Chains A and B, each alone.
Chain A
């Protein structure tokens, strides 16, 4: 959908005049500045007696009337169409346009295995169906070099959240029920939204674009693919879900590409608030996080991309409090201060590779994240073990490898994935290795149907006593609109 705000019609006067002066055949080798080859457009008026405006039948034919290559005419890959207006003039309205599009997915998840497996009790005891994502994009090319994008996810959360345990052993279930004042007090469950990203960017040079706002951290492929229709599998790898790199950051990002024959060399450089409990709106320390990505793409044989990623930042969580003190004159005054609850510096490093060749897709990401706590602000462990201990420094290492092949039949892609994560940031879960196999069917470009079975093998039950394996089945219908 296009919403035109301020038409800056480049209604080129020349284009509102007569149709072109015929189907002359230019010399394609003629340089524009050669004397013998003055701009061909200049030649047209000089030939008034030529059989003007006699485009060949082929030339006057609407391209859309040419024989289609398939029965259905797709409109999914166009940013818009230029057309003649009612008077036959060329309407080149390049005013700001707002594009609305998005994606959604409907899911079925079932944890398999014994009911005694605590994972099943903790995550989801029964098979469930749910709408996982409803993401809306608002994209606008503001001018030649300015562009903006906002993406908002509509979610049912926090409805039904049961992640917090009460001291009495019960879990608190969040109920968002409210009386609908507009429907005679009918009960409704209000839900939330999550801003996925919102940024403004300026392309200063071919190889330099500067972006400000909240953006997805540029690393690897999965976080970049981002939306369920573009992602091969149903569930994210643990390394992505556990955010060894932050999923998104708020700050500045510069990126660009250099083209060398069949090879593209690209970079990202980031400066942000870094990770924190409220990093989207406030940095709780003076440190700014830096990061970047270097990647190389080549189409010499298939499409090969390799990348290196880094992120370095500082996490700080603090509590603001006030007390009543006195000023120099002894009068009472309010004193505001913050107590640091936890702080650590962290470093994430990653490498990735992706190879596409015809229907084959192979990709993998390997990454690590290490954190060093400040001893003065090392928090207590949070878990079921009530003994007083402090969180240790940690280094998480993980990765995944995925291989799939898009068959020519029904655009079906069988795929397999193996992944590993050490989970050293918590004693609740041991290191895990998971194997997944599934199919990805794309009956149309906009619709993706997926089903996968996976089993995760944990190295021990962890401090929670959860099961040592976790078989699961997931199915998903994802669609772009």
Chain B
């Protein structure tokens, strides 16, 4: 534990010294394989360790999926048409921004549940994921903090070459 904390402090100090511009090992690895990886995050104390891309898609299309604790996963999105949101929708939902907008409008007309809520601030997003059981969201690896934990998607992590939640800006 102590070693782990010390290592985190070093990384944090390094990041702070570089004004936050220093990429993490995640980012470096992700950049090496091309594109922007988005880490799927949950609360640190969640028992959820991995999710399939198909289930991730279901969660972000407001289908009910529960985690090992029995909590319904609650998706939190980035605001529409922001870069990572568009990239996430492309990679996970397989939809362009315009298609996503049409999808949710049509879905509401059908009387189904609406889209996930959006959070327009990284700090807020991490805090919400940390405190709200079942919350699930996504961030760039450089935006990770101790408040949240990244999980595997299709058994892959963001630094794996074939990690599926990745987009080319």
Contact = CB atoms under 8 A, between A and B. Distances in A.
Contacts of B24: 25
Nearest to B122: A59
A247 to B, nearest CB: 13
A28 B127 contact: no
A417 B104 CA distance: 25
A63 B119 contact: yes
Interface string A411-452: 100000000000000000000000000000010011000000
A81 B45 contact: no
A318 interface: no
Contacts of A442: 102
B113 interface: yes
Nearest to B169: A67
A226 B110 contact: yes
A224 B46 CA distance: 36
Decide if the interface of chain A is mainly helix, strand, loop or mixed: loop
Contacts of A32: 44-47, 49, 149
B165 to A, nearest CB: 13
Given A37-B4, A43-B5, A226-B109, A24 B11 contact: yes
A184 interface: no
A26 B8 CA distance: 7
Interface in A252-267: 257, 259, 261-262, 264
Contacts of A69: 81-83, 85-86, 97
Contact of B121 (A25, A37, A63, A151): A63
B78 interface: yes
Given A58-B140, A68-B82, A261-B54, A63 B12 contact: no
Could you say which interface size class chain B belongs to?
A: 35 or more
Contacts of B101: 74, 76-77, 445
A225 interface: yes
A20 interface: yes
Contacts of A42: 44
Could you say which interface size class chain A belongs to?
A: 35 or more
A213 B148 CA distance: 41
Residue among B57, B80, B148 with most chain A CB within 10 A: B80
Interface stretch (A82-90, A371-379, A456-464): A82-90
Residue among A28, A72, A139, A144 with most chain B CB within 10 A: A28
A73 B143 contact: no
B45 A59 contact: no
B80 A76 contact: yes
B111 A259 contact: no
A50 B14 CA distance: 11
A104 to B, nearest CB: 11
Given A28-B151, A73-B79, A83-B120, A50 B110 contact: no
B83 A54 contact: no
B131 to A, nearest CB: 5
A26 B145 contact: yes
B80 A28 contact: no
A216 B127 contact: no
B72 to A, nearest CB: 7
Given A63-B121, A206-B66, A259-B65, A41 B108 contact: no
Interface string B122-160: 111111101110000000101111111111100001100
Contacts of A24: 8-9, 11-12, 145-146
A176 interface: no
A23 B15 contact: yes
B38 to A, nearest CB: 12
Contacts of A22: 12, 16, 145-146
A74 B81 contact: yes
Q: Which 7 A-B pairs have the closest CB atoms?
A: A56-B20, A445-B101, A28-B150, A77-B104, A227-B109, A230-B106, A69-B86
22 contacts: A15-B131, A21-B146, A22-B12, A41-B45, A41-B147, A46-B5, A56-B15, A57-B20, A58-B122, A59-B20, A59-B123, A60-B123, A63-B79, A77-B101, A80-B117, A84-B121, A90-B124, A229-B106, A230-B106, A299-B57, A411-B98, A445-B105
Interface of A: 12, 14-15, 19-33, 35-44, 46-47, 50-51, 54-64, 66-70, 72-84, 90, 92, 99, 101, 103, 137, 139, 141, 144, 147, 149, 151, 197, 203, 206, 216, 224-227, 229-230, 257, 259, 261-262, 264, 299, 411, 442, 445-446, 480
